[in-house]
């Protein structure tokens, strides 16, 4: 049932003859059943929750239209939250007879979303097309690039110590700052099998479910923002170092998800969440520690500085700020939220500062950068 047919039906039935802006929930539910109109269970639950949030058991006309049109503003979500507190319902875990894919969708809902009504909304609205192609494509490309360079250099661990590695047109190197594409394409190169394995695992375990729930545009924006912030931060704080690996984007996704779990701890229903939180923090901290060790205490002789670890930290900052804003705005318009514009302003200010820094600071400070390969 689309919005136009809903409007026509309401006008024909005169559900709001006095033009009060409110419609009785029982009246509308009876209309749905009498005309056999399709309305999925999640929206029926929300219709009851909206009525529960109103003293007279009525639904605001605009909220009803938003519900049918699958639009969820902040006020709409607050009304749902107020109504669902007294709304008894079974959880998705009690849904019987689900196939393998729908069970996976249910698993994703419980992994990512902190609210039962959001989980039901996602479960009933989810469609398998389009699939989460962004994270899968990025991971596949990184694996292909690594295999190509591994075969070419005949080296699979600590590839950055090979003299030919830094000649790649994808690697960010401070001597090639004018080649702006390198600030992003370095995410396809990795120092070795250990870094690629760690990043690919997190991209598939966390990135794919996040993309399934929040969509390609939001998750790709978050990932690429972390990647770009990583290389720009290195160009400011570790001016002599190159950068490789997708850790900026990976840490943006992971830190956003972990922060969202912590802030909605009571509502999250993923199993063993405390243990998994500890393990994730230990693994992420160990990867940062390994990067610090390789940067300042290289185990092998090298012709220049090793890749910086600052991209990891920059990605985490992007995740806690921009990422958390995105994840807390499930099915809401980001442009309607003041916090989103504050985050964008802060990120844009950082980008402008980093651009001017890369243009002028290296010469003004007399930075001694290694010669480009």
Give mean pLDDT in consecutive 10-residue pieces for the chain, a chain of 373 residues.
53 57 65 58 65 64 62 55 48 72 90 83 80 95 95 89 90 93 96 93 95 94 97 95 95 95 87 89 93 88 85 96 90 84 97 96 87 79
d(CA 169, CA 182): 7
Looking at residue 55, what is its pLDDT? 63
Please list the active-site residues: 247, 312
Residues pairing with 355 in the sheet: none
Residue 205's CB is within 10 A of a number of other CB atoms, namely 12
CB 43 within 8 A of CB 68: yes
* Whole-number Å distance between alpha carbons of 240 and 370: 7
DSSP for 87-153 reads -----GGG--S--HHHHHHHHHHHHH---HHHHHHHHHH--SSS--HHHHHHHHHHHHHHHHHHHHH
**Among candidate residues 236, 223, 272, 275, the one with its CA nearest the CA of residue 361:** 236
SS3 37: coil
What are 174's two structure tokens?
């401070």
Q: Is 215 left (phi over 0), alpha (psi -120 to 50) or beta?
A: left
Burial class of 88 by CB neighbour count within 10 A (0 to 12, 13 to 18, 19+): exposed
Number of H helices, E strands in the chain: 18, 2
CATH of 1-88, one of 1.10.150, 1.10.3470, 3.30.300, 1.10.238: 1.10.238
Instruction: Collect all residues with Cβ–Cβ distance below 8 Å to 208 and sequence separation of at least 6.
Output: 132, 135, 136
3-state secondary structure of 339: helix
Specify the CATH number for 131-363; select among 3.40.50.300, 1.20.120.330, 1.20.1540.10, 3.90.550.10: 1.20.1540.10
Angle between helices 116-125 and 100-112 (to 10 degrees): 150
DSSP H or E segment with residue 24? strand 22-24
CA proximity to 159, closest of 310, 372, 302, 308: 302
What is the 8-class DSSP label of residue 371? Answer: P
- Position 332 scores a pLDDT of 78
Question: Given this model, what pLDDT does residue 247 score?
Answer: 95
- Which pLDDT belongs to residue 2? 47
pLDDT of residue 87: 42
Domain residue extents for the chain: 1-88, 131-363
CA atoms within 13 A on the CB side of 124: 18
264 to each of 114, 253, 273, 278, how far by Cα in Å?
Answer: 6, 17, 12, 16
């Amino acid at each position: 049932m689309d919005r136009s047919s809903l409007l026509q039906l309401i006008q024909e039935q005169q559900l709001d003859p006095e033009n009060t802006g409110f419609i009785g929930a029982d009246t509308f539910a009876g209309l749905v059943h009498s005309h056999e109109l399709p309305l999925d269970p999640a929206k029926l639950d929300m219709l009851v929750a909206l009525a529960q949030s109103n003293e007279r058991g009525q639904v605001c006309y605009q909220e009803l239209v938003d519900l049918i049109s699958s639009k969820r503003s902040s006020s709409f979500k607050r009304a749902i939250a107020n109504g669902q507190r007294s709304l008894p319902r079974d959880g998705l875990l009690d849904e019987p007879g689900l196939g393998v894919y729908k069970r996976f969708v249910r698993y994703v809902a419980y992994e990512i979303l902190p609210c039962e009504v959001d989980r039901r909304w996602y479960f009933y609205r989810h469609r398998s097309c389009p699939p989460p192609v962004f994270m899968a494509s990025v991971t596949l490309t990184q694996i292909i690039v690594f295999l190509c360079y591994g075969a070419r250099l005949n080296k699979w661990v600590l590839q950055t110590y090979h003299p030919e590695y830094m000649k790649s047109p994808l690697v960010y190197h401070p001597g090639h700052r004018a080649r702006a594409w390198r600030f992003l394409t370095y995410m396809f190169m990795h120092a070795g099998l250990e870094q690629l394995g760690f990043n690919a695992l997190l991209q598939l375990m966390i990135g794919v479910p996040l993309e399934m729930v929040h969509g390609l545009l939001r998750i790709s924006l978050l990932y690429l923002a972390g990647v770009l912030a990583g290389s720009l931060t290195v160009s400011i704080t570790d001016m002599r170092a190159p950068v490789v690996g997708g850790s900026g984007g990976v840490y943006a996704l992971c830190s956003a998800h972990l922060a969202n779990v912590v802030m909605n701890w009571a509502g999250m229903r993923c199993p063993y969440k405390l243990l998994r939180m500890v393990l994730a923090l230990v693994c992420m901290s160990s990867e940062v520690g390994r990067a610090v060790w390789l940067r300042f205490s290289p185990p092998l002789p090298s012709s220049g500085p090793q890749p910086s670890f600052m991209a990891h930290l920059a990605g985490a900052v992007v995740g806690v700020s921009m990422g958390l804003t995105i994840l807390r705005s499930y099915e809401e318009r980001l442009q309607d939220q003041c916090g989103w514009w504050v985050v964008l302003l802060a990120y844009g200010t950082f980008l402008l500062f980093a651009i001017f820094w890369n243009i002028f600071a290296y010469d003004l400070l007399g930075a001694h950068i290694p010669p480009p390969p």
